[in-house]
Amino acid sequence: MREALLYTKRENLSVDCFLCNHFCTIANHRRGLCGVRENRDGVLKSLVYGKIVAENVDPIEKKPLFHVSPGSRTLSISTVGCNLSCRHCQNASVSQPGSFSADAVPGQDRTPEDIVAKAVATGCDSISYTYVEPTIFLEFAIDCMELGYNKGLRNYFVSNGYMSSEAVKLLIPFLDAINIDLKSFCDGFYRKICTARLQPVLDTIQNISEAGVWLEVTTLLIPGLNDSEEELRDVVAFLVSVDPSIPWHVTGFYPAYKLTDCPATPPETLEKARQIGLDAGLNYVYVGNRPGTGGENTYCPSCAAEIITRRGFSVLKDYLKDGKCQYCDHPISGLWG
């Protein structure tokens, strides 16, 4: 347990948390909406500092980050908790763990030194903060990020984008890349399905891009909820306005958690979304959760040559040369070192 970052005290022992865009006011002996930050007599505590419930070596393609060191391995870590309560969450067992006492927080005790040492020992060149919204364990993440950075490791976030601008500023010095879920371009979807709002996510995408951190965006397409052609065009128009080189991952939904009454996403919906993105000016659009369709490959936006061939989380061929297309020498945006 550690004192939390990003909060202010009030005179009545309540506190104002500004870690994320919920901006919770937390009464004494209560927790924020994330369930893992507790007010102890006017001092906000992170209950999950060093309490790791998931610790796996993953291919970087699983995040998904397709324009970051293809074929590399990353150490993925997570605590319990999340600042959203998405009805379709695929990691609900850790993001929505239910009630637990401050003396019995789920997870194995780990130090930042433990995490960095494991990343090095397992041949990873990076650490990914993922599975749940990593902003909710910001204190532990930043300590790991700074230590890993000094050891030559890269740091990646897989995020819902609902972090505050103050949290973004703390992350920027040590954050190499991030994948942000843009779950919908409809505020009603965010309010009904995720208990959140759209605009803060758009603001985070803009802020991250302007800060120069490598950014990729994922949209999980749920039939009948966020897959209309109009909404897809709105998503693409926004991304193009920020930076047409942002890779957009359109991924297939499978029934999960509290959203089991929706069917899986048809392959043709994913291909339609991909084509909408490419036609509107995005340089890189990928189809996810449907291996073998060809939508996982990277094509040169200049000569259209296939330069990275993937299947699932595996890189089969890589025709990049010093971050450029080997056929026409056109630069391919990303972190290739």
Quick: pLDDT tens for 1-32: 899 999 999 989 999 999 999 999 999 999 99
- CATH superfamily for domain 51-295: Aldolase class I (3.20.20.70)
Report residue 228: phi and psi, to 5°. -70, 155
**Mean pLDDT, residues 291-295:** 80
**Mean pLDDT, residues 255-273:** 94
Amino acid, res. 290: R
Q: What are the residue ranges of CATH 3.20.20.70 in the chain?
A: 51-295
Over the chain, what is the mean pLDDT? 96
Question: For residue 222, what pLDDT band results from cuts at 50, 70 and 90?
Answer: very high
Per-residue confidence (pLDDT) for residue 315, from 0 to 100: 95
Per-residue confidence (pLDDT) for residue 289, from 0 to 100: 85
Per-residue confidence (pLDDT) for residue 98, from 0 to 100: 86
pLDDT at 292 over 90: no
pTM of the full structure? 0.96
Per-residue confidence (pLDDT) for residue 16, from 0 to 100: 98
Per-residue confidence (pLDDT) for residue 291, from 0 to 100: 81
Instruction: Report d(CA 70, CA 188) in Å as an integer.
Output: 36
Q: DSSP letters of 139-193?
A: HHHHHHHHHHHHTT-EEEEEE-S-B-HHHHHHHGGG--EEEEE---S-HHHIIII
Quick: pLDDT tens for 40-83: 999 999 999 999 999 999 999 999 999 999 999 999 999 999 99
Amino acid, res. 34: C
Tokens of 281: 């000016």
